[in-house]
Amino acid sequence: KTYCSIFASPGVLALWRAMHFVAAPSACLSASISFAISTAHLSRVGALESSASRVVNERSKTWPFCNSLPVIVAAGGAAAVFARCCRPDRRKASRWAGLARCVGGLPVSGASIPFPSNIEAVLFDIDGTLADTDPVHFQTFVDLLQREGVNGGDPIDLAFFQKWISGRQNKLICADLFPQWDEHKVEEWSDMKEATFRERSSSDLKAMGGLDRFMAWMDAQNLKRAAVTNAPRLNAEFILGCIGRGSYFQEVIIGDECEKAKPDPCPYLTAMSRLGVQPENCIVFEDSPSGARAAVAAGIYTIGILSSNPAEKLQKVGCSLLIDNYDSEDLWRCLDAVSEKRSSSFQSA
């Protein structure tokens, strides 16, 4: 039991699984980094101790020496070296790593995920990503929170909005700002807030710059697509309708309808499962730290759109590329490379 709390960390579970499947070097390295971070945060994983114990006990039946931490660390290093030569199946390791993060792990900030050479699906957040909705959300919160006496009755500023509101579920926002409210009050206030947002934005919402061009490229490449959002379904469908994309997406994943919402990776894992794709064949567009954290934790190459949050915040949570809109030259250099590779593959076939 000495190392029970250590094994509760998804980073160690990922390392353990990487050893079992002889994962690719990148998976072993990622798991090792997660291991280092996890050991520095042992106090945060006590709730998973019983689960960790089951992992240890199960492995102990097969490998009695597994209770030795030095042996485990050495084995992890050996697995990474061995994987350098063997190039095994990456999908098992990536699926386990995503699952491990989904059950309570801390994603590694700034993790390096390569741009996929073979894109099969594109996943989008909605607010601030497909449409520039944050100005309307911001003013709606300014008015309603001032009415409730939040911030001493003074209007909230943009920094307050980005810290406590942007990209988060209504119930989490209310839990922080109105801890005294019961569930019924939270639901009632949230419904009123969303209705106010829809009323104010009905004539003002437009698609983000370059979105139509990018989606035309997606159609030409025959890519799968999903919208993944923490917004209520009514809002999600309303926004998609306003920008003329009401029936465009094969899947619309709502955080409130998943086991966990963003920043947990579960909504993105759900989207990939329904589309039948793997993380290494997807890209995600996000505008908030909460959403970007979820996408990175799911193992997906994440592109941050600078519509509502500063670049450093999105970089900190692991966005690999930052763009102002879908006309970004940096984005299209990546897309042109993908198109060229696909064209070459078709010609050689």
Q: Enumerate the active-site residues.
A: 125, 127
Q: What are phi and psi for residue 327, nearest 5 degrees?
A: -95, 5
- What's the CA gap between 139 and 156, in Å, rounded? 9
Q: 10-21 and 25-39 are packed helices; what angle lies between their axes, rounded to 10 degrees? A: 150
Sorted by sequence, the CB contacts under 8 Å of residue 28 that are 6+ apart come out as: 15, 18, 76, 79, 80, 83
Give strand ranges (E) for 135-265. Answer: 224-229, 251-254
Residues 245, 239 contacting (CB under 8 angstroms): no
Q: Locate tokens 């019983």: which residue?
A: 50
For residue 128, give both structure tokens.
């601030």
